Chains A and B, each alone.
Chain A
Amino acid sequence: MNRHGPGTPSVPGIHCGGCLRKVEQALSQLEAVAEARANLTTRSVIVRWTDGVPPPAMIEALAEAGHAAHLGDGNAPDADKTQADLVRALAVAGFAASNIMLFSVSVWAGAGESLRTLFHALSALIALPVLIYSGRVFYRSAWSALRHGRTNMDVPVSIGLTLAFAMSLYDTIHGGPHAYFDAVTMLLFFLLVGRTLDHAMRSRARQAVSDLARLTAHGAMVEQKDGSQAYLPVDELRPGMTILLAAGERVPVDARILCGASDLDRSLVTGESAPQPATPGMIVEAGTLNLTAPLRLETSAAAGESFLAEMTRMMVAAEAGRSRYRRLADRAAALYAPLVHSAALLAFLGWALASGDIHRAAVIAVAVLIITCPCALGLAVPIVQVVAARRMFEQGIMMRDGAGLERLADVDTVVFDKTGTLTWGRPQLRQPSVPHLGLAAALAAHSRHPHARALAEAWQGPAPAIIDVREIAGRGIEGRLGPDIIRLGRPDWALDRPEDIPASAPFPCTSLSRNGALLAHYHFDDCLRPGARAAIRALTDQGCASVILSGDHAAAVARTAAQLDVTQFEADLLPAGKVQRLEALAAAGRRTLMVGDGLNDAPALAAAHVSMAPSDAADVGRQAADFVFLRAPLGAVPCALSIARRAKTLIRQNFALAVLYNAIALPFAVAGLVTPLAAALAMSASSLAVVANALRLNANAARRDRMARKHPQPAVRFAE
């Protein structure tokens, strides 16, 4: 039986037909894969494979074909369903609106009475099923809001649509001159455009974010009692199982090390930047990366009780505060709906008392409802957010939903995590020129240890030929150069004479020795992300204070803070501590943007007013964040902030435009001067005005880009 795997790999690098071919062929050659189909628009591949086998090595096969890939969640096909419903509703409404408009134009052009009644009746026949099919989106949302004792934009929309249709139907049956069927369907069409855009933006961002999910701990190789090995998904792991963890894999659930010696990278879990040696008996949290050698672990908690699950629980608790936020459009609707409804009611009562003609009063009340129906209001917010999301996408920033964009515009304090966010989260060589680097790099090329990788990266020249290389996990690498034994690793292992071993230095240290005699010490530090200093400066210019909250040691945090001119920082914080600091900031009236990448940041990301994570962050953290930035430089943070603020200004302007239009049209409607023709014209004009205003976000940005090309800014130095 074929099925979608747990992942549709996302391959950001594909950009042409040749890549499509290469990716599909590389995957089809894998044994278990039944079918692979690449999608150039979403930059992903849908892979079906035979059930009952561990996931094929898709990521490795793609890497061999020259494409870096991430593994997705594989739930994308379900998420598309609402979107498809909306598009279908939109298509039906568009069809109905254009057909009814044909009839309406001939009525306005002066069709005779019998023909007019015929056309009205035909319009009603088309409008009724469409109102039910396409309008159910609004009816359902309005009903669920009312049932919870709230109102939203869809309540006035639903009432307006229903009353206008009922009134027009009554007039059609009695041969009246005016019917608003065209207004009803056009209103539906415009509102559905806004709704569809809003949803498309959100689902695209959500999919892109979930596609980034990495291979981390989707399963583990379990050693069973009879000695055989089986691959089990994370959910089926129980305490007391023995699992085998290869070098380069992440720990699936909390566990204790049984045997093996290796090095662990806990930067995603605790924020500690320096790698740690692993020894038997040590407790390791889920998410820890095993670096150099295989380990045997005994699981100490099921997936639902491990460190990861604890973080998830804290996130849920922290998120409660954020759900109190009400979106701009809903707040506007709360003010707007009572106003419109009382205006319509007053018009009805006024005309009924003044003229005594109940029918005429009802027609005027319906005209008031239609002319004030929040057509432009329904488009005002989503259209700006779609344009803003597009601008951000061009800058490599993914936006999860529009509410995040609204909250981002209010931010006055930016809270950074240190390891992996302000810094790379992996060590780099501190000294630019040190002796014997070529020799060290030649040895280092054989290891996965982060220090070894940094050394190998730092050397570009020719390397001496070293033979008999072996890695001693937790200590270092050893090899032979001619007759000499060369060692690279922990100073107390590489060096024979204790006086050569450096006293505890502020930076982690690795030593190179020949036959036990010192050749060189190499010091490592976690380097800043490119653009970090420029980003902090830009945030200060935009009026935002910067704060660092880190789980790393005080000395390392103080050093990074000094490099970045940040005066507020705290170190040695547990996940709960970060949440407390954020709550304290919120209590002091600050609106915080949390930028972080680790598992330990996830609760803080959920607790902050709005949050942002780099694309290489831990899965939970990335799922919690409102924004994810795909490119390395930290300049994404001020960039997103300025786009959000600009978008908020445009949304305000759009609201102002919509209100202004209503303020002008309302007196005419109350005076009974609005015919169906006038209503149709006014509605289209206001919608177009709002859309055109939203597109200015693009135009302004394009102008700024041109300016920037003419007067280039001094480039940000890569290594600060």
Chain B
Amino acid sequence: MAIDVRIPTVLRKHTDGEAKVSGEGSTLAELVDDLDDRHAGLRDALVGMDGQLHRFINVYLNDEDVRFLGGIQTPLRDGDTVSILPAVAGG
């Protein structure tokens, strides 16, 4: 269950500067746990105390926003690409 993961600049402090990493999991939640084992701190950066994705983090499965799929429970398949981006907002 290898999943390719794209890490944004703001989170590369957790991945020794790597922009692309890989992880495993049959759901996004499992992938996040696996990534956190490999790259400490990623889970807290992505998921809140309520177990849901932070609102200021955007996660895409291939080209789709996971909020329109299954959120943190979105199923993953071998070969999928998950990209993580920070929200861009201001006033």
- Please determine whether chains A and B interact with each other in the same assembly: no
On A, residues with C-beta under 8 Å from B are none
On B, residues with C-beta under 8 Å from A are none
